[in-house]
Amino acid sequence: MLDGKVLLVTGASRGIGRAIALLAAENHAHVIINYNKSENSAAELVSLIEGKGLSASMIKADVSSEKEVKDMFSWIKEKYSKIDVLVNNAGIMRNSLLAFTDTEIFDQTIGINLKGTFLCTRYASNMMRKQKSGKIINISSIVALEGNEGQTVYSASKAAIIGFTRSAAKELGRYGITVNAVAPGLVETDLIKDIKPEIKNKMLSNISLGRIGTPEDIAKVVLFLSSDLANYVSGSVIAVDGCQTI
Ligand code: NAP
């Protein structure tokens, strides 16, 4: 489905980003695996993909750092001369009640989740505009739509991504670039490992499909949005949550 496409996934060393990168590679994209701290996991993923006779490379960049993002895109330009798909997936979640949420949590969460999405989109779209094509997929969350106790800052960062997605879609459409968001529900990754089992079970009882999502559930929707099947989809927010939000 993605033959010959160059696809960058931010935060692809673990969790949802890893599954997105793997499925894209299995669909014959050349995947660029961005990571920040988990170098070994990123290297293992490259080996796994190359072991299947498919194509991948990895690059370290903290998406909240303008310099590192700029360097990452200079490297992509030099090595591949193009970028077809950007998946803004890198994110953190630091839960705390508002009264206990200090400014450092705010700055870090907004820095990685929102500023990282802004920076990568700006650099990628500069290349895509010249190509007159491109697909950008931003990973939001259903808490952007619903809110959640203990997640004021996280949900704000994810809600901002939806506004950013819709505005960027309007601005970039004339260049043949689509911009969409995926809003996952609860997905089994390291991000949710500290949620207490009783709270997880309570959340589970609100999911019609009766199970927590897997990273692959999200990756399949991202694959669709990355492919030509979604050429007329832009500015959309797709919840992938087992029917938790309605
Ligand atoms: P995860 O397992 O904790 O993985 C997070 C990934 O983000 C890691 O690969 C990590 O890379 C990367 N990352 C963190 N800070 C970074 C930075 N400054 N620069 C570059 N990469 C960075 O989380 P996940 O569950 O897969 O979450 C992926 C995305 O889905 C996030 O945006 C999250 O908000 C969203 N989401 C998750 C859920 C869920 O239930 N899991 C639900 C809704 C939305 P390193 O380890 O290399 O630093």
Q: Is 244 helix (H, G, I), strand (E, B) or coil?
A: coil
Look at residues 186, 230, 219, 213 and name the one whose alpha carbon lies nearest to residue 17: 219
pLDDT at 101: 97
123 has catalytic annotation: no
pLDDT at 234: 98
CA distance 154 to 219: 21
Q: Is the CB of 157 under 6 A from ligand 1?
A: no
Determine the average pLDDT of the residues in 16-31.
Answer: 98
CA distance 116 to 232: 26
Q: Which of 117-126, 147-156, 190-199, 213-222 has the lowest mean pLDDT?
A: 190-199
CA distance 88 to 74: 17
CATH code linked to domain 6-240: 3.40.50.720
pLDDT at 169: 98
| Global confidence as pTM | 0.98
Cβ proximity of 29 and 96 under 8 Å? no
pLDDT at 3: 97
pLDDT digits (tens, 9 = 90+) for 167-197: 999 999 999 999 999 999 999 999 999 888 8
Query: What are the C-alpha distances in Å from 20 to residues 68, 167, 206?
Result: 22, 24, 26
Model confidence band, residue 202 (pLDDT cutoffs 50, 70, 90):
confident
Query: Which atom, in ligand 1's list, is nearest to the CA of 111?
Result: 18
Express as a percent the part of the chain with pLDDT over 90.
Answer: 95
CA distance 132 to 20: 24
Does residue 245 register a pLDDT over 90? no
Nearest residue (by CA) to ligand 1, atom 10, is: 11
Q: Which residue has the tokens 């998406």?
A: 63
Q: Is the CB of 43 under 6 A from ligand 1?
A: no
| Domain residue spans of the chain | 6-240
pLDDT digits (tens, 9 = 90+) for 224-240: 999 999 999 999 999 99
CA distance 147 to 89: 20
Q: Is the CB of 93 under 6 A from ligand 1?
A: yes
35, 80, 123, 154: the catalytic one is 154
CA of 167 to the centre of ligand 1 (A): 24
Paired tokens of 102: 């200090």
pLDDT at 179: 99
